[in-house]
C-alpha cells in the first residue's frame, strides 16, 4: 500500500544521513509521516525492521503504529519488535543487563499499588504523617526523571526528611529486586553511561532510531536516545506547541534546542493542518504566537469554516445546560453524531456540572479515565500471586495475598511470622522458616503450606495456566462473589479475569506477562465505553479529533490554572508570575482548540462553584476577524 504524502511530509521521510527534526503543527499528519518513514527504510532501503527503534508515547500508539506498518509494508507486527514506548524499550535493555547494576534476573517492576504500600512503610519508619504519601510519591517520581534527583528534592519540596525517604524507598525496592516505573529510565541511562560495553552492545541493536511526540520527552529520555543513536540515524517528530507534560518532567527545550544539540540537523516543517478549518487554525496560531519559547512555524489550513465562538455565561450551571442543548442541536440540525463531539476542560471538577446537565437533558456522554484495568482489585490480587511465584523477594505482593481470599491466618499467626529474622529477611523466607520450626498451629500451618506450594507449582507454568490454577486453587470466584456489590459488579469482575486470561495467553512466560502488565499500568485507561459526547480534560484529549469541540471554563484561575502561574491560592495573583507555567497553560488551550475539525466554542462564566471569576487573558489574544462573541444573558 502506498501512502499519499505532501511534499513536506515526503522531505521528512526521505531525509537521511543526518539527524532530522520534524517540526509539525497540529493535524499535520505526524504519525502518518513517521510510519511512512519506517516503511520507506524497510521497503525502499532494505533496512531490517528488527533493527529499527521507533518510540511512541503510549503502548496503544505502538500497537496502532505496528498495525499501520503491517498495512503499508505487508510485514507482520512481530517483525517490528522495537516499536515501543520509552519505558518498554528501556526495560528490554535493563532486564537483559540488570546484573551489571547488582540486580538478579528476572527483574520486576513495582506497580503503583506496590509503590504506595512501600512508601507508606517509608513514612511510618521515618515517623512522617501519612498525608505526605501523595506529595512524596509525586516528588520522587518527578525527581527520578531529572538529571539530579537529590538536587530537585532538596529545593523543590517542603516534605520533611525527603532525602532519607528517597534512600529508604530505593533500599526497599532493591531488597525486593524491583524497580519502579521511573527507575526504568533512570537506571537504563546510568547503565548506558557507565558501562561502555553495554552501551556498545545496545547501540549495535539499532540501525535507525525514530521518536514520536518528541516535544514531551524529558531529559533522561533525551540522554538515552542520544546514547543509542549511531551515525546520525535519527528522526524525531513533534510539535513543541503541544508540549503539555511539564508536570511529569517533559521539557519542550529539548525539542526547541534540537538544532543546537545536533548542529548538522535537518529541520523539516509540516505546516499544513488537514484537520481543522481556517478560522480554527488561525485562532490557535494567534494564541500560541504569544509564547516566546517556541520554534517558529506558520500553520495554515485550506478549508473554510465558521468563526470560533466565544460565549459568556452567568454561571457554570447555565454554561453546562447550554452545552448540553447545543450538542443536541448540532446533532439534530447538522447531523453531527454525538460521539464526534467533545467537551474539554482544564481540571476534572468541571465535569460535575456538565454531567448533571447532560443527564437532565438526556444527552448521552462518556468519560475517560476511571480506574485503570490493572488497578482493579481482582487484577491486582491475581497478579500478586504470580509476582510472588516469580519473585520470592516481593514482600508487598505476598502481604497482599497472604489472607486474600481468607485462609485462616489470624493476627496472632501473622505476628509470629513477621517476627522471624530481621527486617531484611524476605517475607516468603519467614513463612518457610515458621513452617520448618513448627511455630504455627496445625490449621494455620496447613493453610500456609498450601499457599507456598501453590506458588511453587505455578512458577514454571505458562501464564494462562498459572492464572487459572490460582483462581481454582484459591476458590477466587466464590471470594469475588462475596466482595462484589451486586451481580453486575460480579459479572464485570469475572469479565476482567477473562480479559487477563486472554492477555496471559499471548505471553510466552510469567515474567514477560507480568512485565507487560506493569508497563501498561501507568497509562490512563482511555477505552471508550458506549456512545455519547466525550467529556475529557485537555490532557486526556491529546491526539484526538472531533467535529465539534466545546472548551469550557476559559477563566483566570482555571486557564491559566492558578497553580501553574505560581499563585498560592485561586484568588491570589503572585508578584511575579511563572512564565514557563503560563506558556504551558497557553499550549494546553492550543491543544484543546486544535482537536476541533469544524466547530469550536470557547466559554466562560461569571461565577464558577459559586465564586466570581474573570475571563481568561487568553481570550483577548484571539484574532477578532476569526471569532464571534456572544453573551448568553
Ligand atoms: N498528506 C495528507 N493528505 C491528506 N490528509 C492528511 C495528510 N496527512 C495527514 N492527513 C490527515 O490529517 C488528519 C490529522 O493527521 P494526524 O492525526 O496524523 O495529525 P497529527 O499531526 O498527529 O495531529 P495532532 O498532533 O494534532 O494530534 C488525519 O485525519 C489524517 O488522515
56 CA to middle of ligand 1, Å? 16
Q: 85 labelled as ligand-binding?
A: no
pLDDT one-digit tens code per residue, 371-400 = 556 677 898 999 999 999 999 999 999 999
What stretch of H or E contains 564? none
Please give the Cα distance from 281 to 297 (Å, whole number). Answer: 13
Task: Write the CATH number of the domain with boundaries 288-369+529-631.
Answer: 3.40.50.300
20 bridge partner residues:
235, 266
Determine contact, residues 35/212, Cβ cutoff 8 Å.
no
- Residue of higher predicted confidence among 495 and 421: 421
Q: Is 212 noted as a catalytic residue in this protein? A: yes
Q: Omega of the bond prior to 101 within 30 degrees of 0, cis?
A: no
Residue 133 corresponds to which cell in the numbers above?
A: 504519601
Q: How confident is the model at residue 490 (pLDDT cuts 50, 70, 90)?
A: confident
Determine contact, residues 585/559, Cβ cutoff 8 Å.
yes
Neighbouring CB atoms inside 10 A of 612's CB total 9
Ligand 1 close to Cβ of residue 32 (< 6 A): yes
Is pLDDT above 50 for 298? Answer: yes
- The average confidence (pLDDT) of the chain is 91
| 546-551 and 341-345 strand pairing | parallel
Q: Among 123-127, 314-318, 418-422, 626-630, which stretch is predicted with the lowest mean pLDDT?
A: 418-422
The CATH number corresponding to 7-93+189-272 among 3.40.50.2300, 3.40.50.2000, 3.40.50.300, 3.90.1310.10 equals 3.40.50.300
Residue nearest to ligand 1 atom 2, measured at CA: 5
Determine contact, residues 314/605, Cβ cutoff 8 Å.
yes
Q: Tell me how many degrees the CA angle 265-271-273 measures, rounded to the nearest 5.
A: 145
According to the model, what pLDDT value does residue 487 have? 72
Q: What is the CA radius of gyration of the chain?
A: 26
Provide mean pLDDT across the span 5-31: 96
Which listed residue (182, 183, 213, 555) is catalytic? 213
Ligand 1 close to Cβ of residue 541 (< 6 A): no
Provide mean pLDDT across the span 197-218: 96
User: Among the atoms of ligand 1, which is closest to the Cα of residue 26?
Assistant: 26
Q: How far is CA 305 from CA 308, 334, 464, 552, 626, in A?
A: 9, 14, 53, 21, 10
pLDDT one-digit tens code per residue, 609-626 = 778 999 999 999 999 999
Q: 49, 16, 8: which is closest to 32 by C-alpha?
A: 8
Q: Is 150 noted as a catalytic residue in this protein? A: no
How far is C-alpha 80 from the chain's CA centre?
Answer: 22
Which listed residue (144, 294, 595, 608) is catalytic? 595
Q: How confident is the model at residue 481 (pLDDT cuts 50, 70, 90)?
A: confident
29 CA to middle of ligand 1, Å? 3
Determine contact, residues 104/177, Cβ cutoff 8 Å.
yes
Which listed residue (11, 14, 18, 31) is catalytic? 31
Q: Omega of the bond prior to 106 within 30 degrees of 0, cis?
A: yes
CATH fold for domain 373-523: PCRA; domain 4 (1.10.486)
According to the model, what pLDDT value does residue 525 have? 46
Dihedral (CA of 593, 594, 595, 601) sign: positive
Is pLDDT above 60 for 522? Answer: no
Q: 530 labelled as ligand-binding?
A: no
Residue nearest to ligand 1 atom 15, measured at CA: 29
Residue 555 corresponds to which cell in the numbers above?
A: 477563566
Provide mean pLDDT across the span 135-159: 88
According to the model, what pLDDT value does residue 1 have? 66
Ligand 1 close to Cβ of residue 553 (< 6 A): no
Is pLDDT above 90 for 345? Answer: yes
Provide mean pLDDT across the span 175-196: 95
7 CA to middle of ligand 1, Å? 14
CA atoms within 13 A on the CB side of 537: 14
Ligand 1 close to Cβ of residue 27 (< 6 A): yes
Neighbouring CB atoms inside 10 A of 17's CB total 10
Q: Is 579 helix (H, G, I), strand (E, B) or coil?
A: helix
Domains 7-93+189-272 and 288-369+529-631 share a fold: yes
Please give the Cα distance from 19 to 262 (Å, whole number). Answer: 7
According to the model, what pLDDT value does residue 521 have? 59
According to the model, what pLDDT value does residue 372 have? 56
Domain ranges (residues) in the chain: 7-93+189-272, 108-176, 288-369+529-631, 373-523
Q: How does DSSP assign 308-348, residue by residue?
A: EEEEEEEEHHHHHHHHHHHHHHHHHHH---GGGEEEEESSG
Q: 245, 375, 314: which is closest to 632 by C-alpha?
A: 314
Q: Is 30 noted as a catalytic residue in this protein? A: yes
34 CA to middle of ligand 1, Å? 11
629 CA to middle of ligand 1, Å? 29
Mutate to test the pocket of ligand 1, among 29, 33, 211, 288 (most ligand atoms within 8 A of CB): 29
Contacts (Cβ under 8 Å, ≥6 apart) of 293? 252, 253, 256, 580, 583
Phi, psi of 463 (to 5 degrees): -55, -45
pLDDT one-digit tens code per residue, 392-444 = 999 999 999 999 999 989 889 999 999 998 878 999 999 999 999 999 999 99
Scanning the structure block, which residue is given the C-alpha cell 487484577? 379
How far separated are the first and last CA of the chain, in Å rounded? 54
Amino acid at each position: 500500500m502506498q501512502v499519499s504524502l505532501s511534499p513536506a511530509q515526503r522531505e521528512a521521510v526521505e531525509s537521511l544521513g543526518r539527524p532530522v527534526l520534524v517540526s509539525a503543527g497540529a493535524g499535520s499528519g505526524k504519525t502518518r509521516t513517521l510510519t511512512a518513514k519506517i516503511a520507506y527504510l524497510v521497503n525502499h532501503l532494505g533496512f531490517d525492521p528488527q533493527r529499527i527503534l521507533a518510540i511512541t508515547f503510549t503502548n496503544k500508539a505502538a500497537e496502532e503504529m505496528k498495525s499501520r506498518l503491517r498495512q503499508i509494508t505487508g510485514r507482520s507486527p512481530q517483525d517490528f519488535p522495537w516499536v515501543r514506548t520509552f519505558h518498554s524499550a528501556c526495560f528490554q535493555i535493563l532486564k537483559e543487563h540488570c546484573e551489571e547494576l547488582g540486580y538478579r534476573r528476572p527483574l520486576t517492576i513495582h506497580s503503583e499499588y506496590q509503590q504506595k504500600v512501600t512508601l507508606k512503610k517509608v513514612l511510618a519508619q521515618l515517623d512522617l504523617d501519612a498525608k505526605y504519601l501523595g506529595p512524596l510519591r509525586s516528588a520522587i517520581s518527578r525527581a527520578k526523571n531529572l538529571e539530579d534527583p537529590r538536587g530537585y528534592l532538596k529545593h523543590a519540596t517542603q516534605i520533611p526528611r525527603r532525602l532519607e525517604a528517597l534512600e529508604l524507598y530505593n533500599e526497599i525496592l532493591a531488597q525486593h529486586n524491583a524497580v519502579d516505573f521511573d527507575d526504568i529510565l533512570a537506571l537504563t541511562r546510568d547503565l548506558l553511561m557507565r558501562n561502555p560495553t553495554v552501551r556498545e552492545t545496545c547501540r549495535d541493536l539499532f540501525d535507525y532510531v525514530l521518536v514520536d511526540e518528541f516535544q514531551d520527552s524529558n531529559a533522561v529520555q533525551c540522554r538515552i536516545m542520544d546514547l543509542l543513536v549511531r551515525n546520525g540515524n535519527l528522526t524525531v517528530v513533534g510539535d513543541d506547541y503541544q508540549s503539555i507534560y511539564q508536570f511529569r518532567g517533559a521539557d519542550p527545550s529539548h525539542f526547541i534546542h534540537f538544532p543546537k544539540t545536533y548542529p548538522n540537523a535537518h529541520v523539516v516543517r509540516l505546516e499544513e493542518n488537514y484537520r481543522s478549518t481556517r478560522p480554527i487554525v488561525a485562532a490557535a496560531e494567534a494564541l500560541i504566537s504569544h509564547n516566546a519559547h517556541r520554534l517558529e512555524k506558520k500553520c495554515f489550513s485550506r478549508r473554510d469554516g465558521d468563526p470560533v465562538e466565544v460565549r459568556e455565561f452567568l454561571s457554570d450551571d447555565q454554561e453546562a445546560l447550554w452545552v448540553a442543548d447545543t450538542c443536541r442541536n448540532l446533532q439534530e440540525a447538522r447531523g453531527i453524531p454525538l460521539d464526534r463531539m467533545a467537551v474539554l476542560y482544564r481540571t476534572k471538577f468541571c465535569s460535575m456540572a456538565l454531567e448533571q446537565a447532560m443527564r437532565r437533558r438526556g444527552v448521552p456522554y462518556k468519560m475517560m479515565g476511571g480506574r485503570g484495568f490493572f488497578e482493579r482489585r481482582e487484577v491486582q490480587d491475581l497478579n500478586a500471586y504470580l509476582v510472588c511465584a516469580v519473585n520470592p523477594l516481593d514482600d508487598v505482593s505476598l502481604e497482599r495475598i497472604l489472607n486474600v481470599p481468607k485462609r485462616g491466618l489470624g493476627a496472632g499467626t501473622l505476628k509470629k511470622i513477621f517476627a522471624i529474622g530481621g527486617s531484611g529477611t524476605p517475607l516468603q523466607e519467614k513463612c518457610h522458616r515458621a513452617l520448618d520450626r513448627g511455630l504455627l498451629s496445625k490449621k494455620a500451618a496447613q493453610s500456609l503450606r498450601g499457599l507456598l506450594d501453590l506458588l511453587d507449582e505455578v512458577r514454571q507454568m505458562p501464564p494462562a495456566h498459572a492464572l487459572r490454577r490460582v483462581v481454582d486453587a484459591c476458590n477466587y470466584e466464590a471470594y469475588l462473589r462475596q466482595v462484589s456489590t451486586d451481580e453486575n459488579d460480579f459479572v464485570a469482575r469475572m469479565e476482567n479475569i477473562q480479559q487477563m486470561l486472554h492477555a496471559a495467553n499471548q505471553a510466552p512466560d510469567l515474567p514477560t506477562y507480568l512485565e507487560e502488565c506493569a508497563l501498561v499500568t501507568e497509562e490512563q485507561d482511555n477505552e471508550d465505553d458506549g456512545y455519547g459526547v466525550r467529556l475529557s480534560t485537555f490532557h486526556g484529549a491529546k491526539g484526538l479529533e472531533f467535529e465539534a469541540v466545546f472548551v469550557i471554563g476559559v477563566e483566570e484561575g482555571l486557564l491559566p490554572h492558578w497553580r501553574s502561574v505560581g499563585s498560592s491560592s485561586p484568588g491570589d495573583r503572585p508578584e511575579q508570575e511563572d512564565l514557563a507555567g503560563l506558556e504551558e497553560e497557553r499550549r494546553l488551550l492550543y491543544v484543546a482548540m486544535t482537536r476541533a475539525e469544524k466547530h469550536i466554542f470557547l466559554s466562560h462564566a461569571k461565577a464558577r462553584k459559586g465564586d466570581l471569576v474573570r475571563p481568561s487573558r487568553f481570550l483577548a489574544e484571539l484574532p477578532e476577524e476569526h471569532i464571534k462573541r456572544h453573551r448568553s444573558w
